[in-house]
A and B are shown apart, each in its own frame.
Chain A
Amino acid sequence: MINILSYGCIVIGIVFWFWGTSYLLGKRSLLFKLHTLSVSDTLGSISIVFGLLLKIPREWPLLILGIICLAMWNTMLGYVLAYCSSTGGEDE
Chain B
Amino acid sequence: MNLVVIAMIVALLIPVYEAWKNDHVWQKMLAFASISSKAAVMILVVSVLRDDWMIGIVGVIILSVGNAALMLLANVLKRMSDL
Give residues in A with beta carbon < 8 Å to B.
Answer: 10-11, 14, 17-18, 21-22, 24-25, 30, 33-34, 37, 41, 45, 48-49, 52, 55-56, 59, 62-63, 65-66, 69-70, 73-74, 76-77, 80-81, 84-85, 87-89, 91
Nearest neighbor of B48 in chain A, beta-carbon distance: A52
- For B, the interface residue count at a CB cutoff of 8 angstroms equals 41
Task: State whether A88 touches B81 (Cβ < 8 A).
Answer: yes
Task: State whether B78 touches A84 (Cβ < 8 A).
Answer: yes
Q: Report the number of A-B residue pairs with Cβ-Cβ less than 8 Å.
A: 113
Leading 4 A-B pairs by shortest Cβ distance: A84-B78, A88-B78, A73-B67, A69-B64
| Contact A77-B82, Cβ < 8 Å, known A56-B48, A62-B60, A66-B63 | no
Alpha-carbon distance A53/B57, docked complex (angstroms) = 14
